[in-house]
A and B are shown apart, each in its own frame.
Chain A
Amino acid sequence: MGMTMTEKILARGAGRESVRPGDLVLAKVDFAMGHDLTIPPAGKIMREQMGAEKIWDPDRVAVTQDHFQPAKDAASATLGRLTREFSHQMGVKWYFEVGQGGICHTVLPENGLVLPGELVVGADSHSCTYGALNNFATGIGSTDLACVFALGELWFRVPESLKFIYHNRLKEWVEAKDLILYVIGQIGVDGARSKAMEHTGEALRHIDMEARLTMTNMAIEAGAKNGIMEFDQVTKQYLDGRAKRPYTPVTSDPDSEYEKVFEFDAEKVELGVAKPMSPDNYAPLSEVAGTRLDQVFIGSCTNSRITDLRRAAAVLEGHKVAPGVRLIITPSSHQVAIQAEKEGLIGTFLAAGAAWTTATCGACLGGHMGVLGEGEVCLSTTNRNFPGRMGHPKAMVYLSNPAVAAASAVAGVITHPSEVLEKMPAGLA
C-alpha cells in the first residue's frame, strides 16, 4: 500500500519505513515557530518545568512579534519583552522584530524557511498555511512547542487523508478564497477534523503561490490537522532564491489511501462569503449583496500578501471609501509593505481614505487597530468569524476576498467588484 505526502513526511520524521493513519509516532521536527502570545508560556514551560536549558537547534526556529505587537498595552509589552528575551537568550536565528517581520504565516514562506518535504510545527493554529509549499505543517500548543524546543521531537497521530480535486479553472473575479470558503461551506467547520486536506487538480495549477497559501491557511477552519499541495513549477519558482536549506519534495503514491475523495468543478464556484458567525456559513455573494457595513478589514495571514493588496488597489484606484464606513488595510508583512510602497499601492489606499497600518495580526483576532463594537457589521478578508473573534460577541463578521472587500468599502454595502471596476487588470485576475 502506498503512502500520501503527509504519511511520507511523518514516516521520515519518525525514522520508519511506513506509517498508517491512526499510528502514534514520535517524529523529528524540521522547523518550529512561535510568536508573542505563545513563546512566553512555551519558554516558561521549557525552562522552569521541563528543565531544558537550550533549544535543540536555534537555526531551525523562527519567532515573530505579530499578535499584539507593536504592544497594544502594558501587558502585551511584557509578552513582547519575554518573547524578545527568550529569543535572544536561546540564540534563535530567525527572530523578527517589530517593523522587520510581520505575521508569522507570511514571514516564514517569504523568507524560504518552510520547505517541501519538511515537518513543520507552529504554536499558532494557522501554521497549516505552509503546506502549500509541499510540507506537513500543523498548529500546536505552547506545551507542545516547549517539548519541540527541548527535544526537537513531538508526538503526532498520523491523520487520515482527504483528497480534494478541483477540476477546470476558477472563473473571472473568483479567487482561491472563494473556493476554500465554498469547500468549507460544503464540509463544515469539523468536516476535516484532525485529518489531512490534500488539495490537487487543474484549478490549482493556474493559481499562484500566494493564492495557494490562502487555501492551506484555512485548512484549520475545516478542523484539519494540515493542508498540503503537490510540488510543481509554481512551487519551484517561488522557492528559487528564497529557500534557506536544500529540500526534497514529496509526492503521494498512486495507490495511497484516502478516507474520502471530494471533486469540485472550480468553474462553477461563485464569488462568495462566509456569513456570521461561522467560516462554514457560506453564501454566494448575490445572496448578501447590499448588506450595510460599518467596517471593512483587508488584512491577516489569509489575504494580505502583495497580490491581495494589488487587487484591492486596482478596485480602489480613483474611488473613495463610502461615508459611514471605515476601511482598514494591514499588510501581512514588512516585505509586503515595502513592495506596496514601491508599487504606489499605499498612495492609492490613502487617497481612497483607507487607514493603512503596520504589519500585524491586529484586527483579525480582535487584538487592536480595528476591534469591533456591539452590533457592528464588518466585511473582512480574514479566516474565521466565530462569535467575538474580532471584538464584541454581538459584532457581525462576513469573510470575503480582498477585491470584494475593497469594492464593498467603496459602496458602503457588500458589493460585487465588477460594480466598481469593469475588469481586473491582466496579471491580477
Chain B
Amino acid sequence: MTLPKVVRGRAWKFGDNIDTDQVIPAKYAIYSLDEKELGKHAMEGVPGRDTWASQVTEGDIMVGGSNFGCGSSREIAPVAIRGAGISLVIADSFARIFFRNAINMGYPILQSPQASEAVEDGDELEVDLEHGIIRNFTKGDEYRCEAFPQFMNELLRMGGLVPWVRKQLEERRRMAASRG
C-alpha cells in the first residue's frame, strides 16, 4: 500500500486529549483482528459521538486537538479510525504511541496546529501529502504541516514498518547465505 498524493474529504473535528479508550473502548479489543468491526465502533467512547462511525463517508478526514490518541498502546486505535473510513488524521499534536502505531501502519497522520485551530466540523479539506499543505475549501484557508524526520517519511512512503522489516529480513537471509 502506497500513500495517495492528494486526499479530499469532509472534516470531522475532535477536541484535546482524545484518549484511546474513547477512540475504541476496550471492550471492542476482542475484535483486535477485525478492522471493519473495529471501525463500526470508532470514537464511540467520545461523549455525544456514539453513532459517529455510521456517518463517515469513505475518505473523510479527522482533525483532533492536542495530545491526540493518548492512553493505551493498543494499535486498534488507529486501526479503528482507518476501519471507519477516515483517510488521514490531522492534529495539533499526537501522543507518542498513537503516532508510532500510525506511522508503523503506513497510515498518514499530520501535525498541524494551524489546521487543528482553524478547521471546523464539516469543512471541506484537501490535503497535499507530498508537500504537507492542507487546503480548506469552506474557509478558503491554507495550513502548513510540521515536517517529520526522514526515516518516518521513508516508513510512510514504503507503507509502514512491515515492508521495512521484510527488507531487513531479506538482507539478513542474503548475508547468512553468502556466509554459507
Same complex origin of A and B: yes
Chain A window 73-89, contacts with chain B (Cβ cutoff 8 Å), 1 for yes, 0 for no: 10110110000000000
Closest to B67 in A: A190
A296 to B105, CA, bound (A): 39
Which of A44-52, A246-254, A263-271, A420-428 is near enough to bind chain B? A44-52
A189-B74 contact given A49-B162, A223-B67, CB 8 Å threshold: no
Q: Are A388 and B100 in contact (CB under 8 A)?
A: no
Instruction: Judge if B138 is at the interface, Cβ distance under 8 Å.
Output: no
Closest to B48 in A: A393
Instruction: Judge if B54 is at the interface, Cβ distance under 8 Å.
Output: no
A387 to B48, CA, bound (A): 12
A144 to B100, CA, bound (A): 8
Q: Which residues of B contact A386 (CB under 8 A)?
A: 17, 19, 21-22, 70-71
Instruction: Judge if B45 is at the interface, Cβ distance under 8 Å.
Output: yes
Q: Which residues of A contact B33 (CB under 8 A)?
A: 40-41, 44
Instruction: Judge if B118 is at the interface, Cβ distance under 8 Å.
Output: no
For chain B, the count of residues having a C-beta within 8 Å of the partner chain is 46
Q: Are B71 and A125 in contact (CB under 8 A)?
A: yes
Instruction: Judge if B104 is at the interface, Cβ distance under 8 Å.
Output: yes
Which residues between 148 and 170 of chain A lie within 8 Å of chain B, taking CB atoms?
A: 150-151, 155, 157
> Would you give the shortest CB distance from A82 to chain B, in whole angstroms?
8
Of A38, A157, A193, which is within 8 A of B149 by CB?
Answer: A157
A143-B96 contact given A38-B73, A68-B29, A386-B71, CB 8 Å threshold: no
Which of B2-10, B82-90, B123-131, B164-172 is near enough to bind chain A? B164-172
Instruction: Judge if A337 is at the interface, Cβ distance under 8 Å.
Output: no
Chain A window 226-248, contacts with chain B (Cβ cutoff 8 Å), 1 for yes, 0 for no: 00000000000000000000000
Instruction: Judge if A300 is at the interface, Cβ distance under 8 Å.
Output: no
Which residues between 273 and 311 of chain A lie within 8 Å of chain B, taking CB atoms?
A: 278
| Residue of A40, A50, A142, A143 with most chain B CB atoms under a 10 A cut-off | A143
Instruction: Judge if A366 is at the interface, Cβ distance under 8 Å.
Output: yes
Of A75, A140, A388, which is within 8 A of B73 by CB?
Answer: A140
Instruction: Judge if B160 is at the interface, Cβ distance under 8 Å.
Output: yes
Q: Which residues of B contact A189 (CB under 8 A)?
A: 17, 67, 70
Closest to B19 in A: A386
Instruction: Judge if B114 is at the interface, Cβ distance under 8 Å.
Output: no
Which residues between 128 and 162 of chain B lie within 8 Å of chain A, taking CB atoms?
A: 149, 151-152, 160-162
Q: Which residues of A contact B164 (CB under 8 A)?
A: 147
Which residues between 25 and 53 of chain A lie within 8 Å of chain B, taking CB atoms?
A: 37-38, 40-41, 44-45, 49-52
Q: Are B104 and A50 in contact (CB under 8 A)?
A: no
Instruction: Judge if B101 is at the interface, Cβ distance under 8 Å.
Output: yes
A50-B149 contact given A140-B100, A143-B105, A151-B168, CB 8 Å threshold: no
Q: Which residues of A contact B74 (CB under 8 A)?
A: 37-38, 141
Q: Which residues of B contact A79 (CB under 8 A)?
A: 29-30, 32
A68 to B32, CA, bound (A): 12
Q: Are A41 and B22 in contact (CB under 8 A)?
A: no
A76 to B136, CA, bound (A): 43
Instruction: Judge if A212 is at the interface, Cβ distance under 8 Å.
Output: no
Instruction: Judge if A194 is at the interface, Cβ distance under 8 Å.
Output: yes
A50 to B160, CA, bound (A): 11
A140 to B31, CA, bound (A): 19
Closest to A191 in B: B67
Closest to A367 in B: B26
> Would you give the shortest CB distance from B100 to chain A, in whole angstroms?
6
Q: Are B166 and A147 in contact (CB under 8 A)?
A: no
Q: Which residues of A contact B73 (CB under 8 A)?
A: 38, 122-125, 127, 139-141
Q: Which residues of A contact B179 (CB under 8 A)?
A: none
Q: Which residues of A contact B46 (CB under 8 A)?
A: 387, 393
Q: Which residues of B contact A76 (CB under 8 A)?
A: 30
> Would you give the shortest CB distance from A419 to chain B, in whole angstroms?
33
Q: Are A143 and B104 in contact (CB under 8 A)?
A: yes
Instruction: Judge if B72 is at the interface, Cβ distance under 8 Å.
Output: yes
Which residues between 28 and 58 of chain B lie within 8 Å of chain A, taking CB atoms?
A: 29-33, 45-47, 50
Q: Are A40 and B162 in contact (CB under 8 A)?
A: no
| Residue of B45, B72, B93, B105 with most chain A CB atoms under a 10 A cut-off | B72
Known: A141-B100, A141-B104, A393-B45. 16 other contacts (CB 8 A): A24-B151, A37-B74, A41-B75, A51-B166, A73-B30, A75-B30, A125-B97, A144-B100, A147-B161, A151-B168, A193-B96, A223-B67, A223-B70, A386-B17, A387-B45, A394-B47
The list of the 10 closest CB pairs from A to B, nearest first, reads A75-B30, A190-B67, A141-B101, A388-B45, A141-B75, A143-B104, A125-B73, A139-B73, A386-B19, A194-B96
- Residues on A close to B: CB < 8 A? 24, 37-38, 40-41, 44-45, 49-52, 67-68, 73, 75-76, 78-79, 122-125, 127, 139-144, 146-147, 150-151, 155, 157, 189-190, 193-194, 220, 223, 225, 278, 365-367, 384, 386-389, 393-394
Selected A-B contacts with CB under 8 Å, 29 pairs: A37-B74, A38-B73, A38-B74, A45-B162, A50-B165, A76-B30, A79-B29, A124-B72, A125-B72, A125-B97, A139-B97, A143-B104, A144-B100, A144-B101, A144-B104, A151-B169, A189-B70, A190-B70, A190-B93, A220-B71, A223-B67, A223-B95, A366-B26, A386-B71, A387-B45, A388-B25, A389-B21, A389-B26, A393-B50
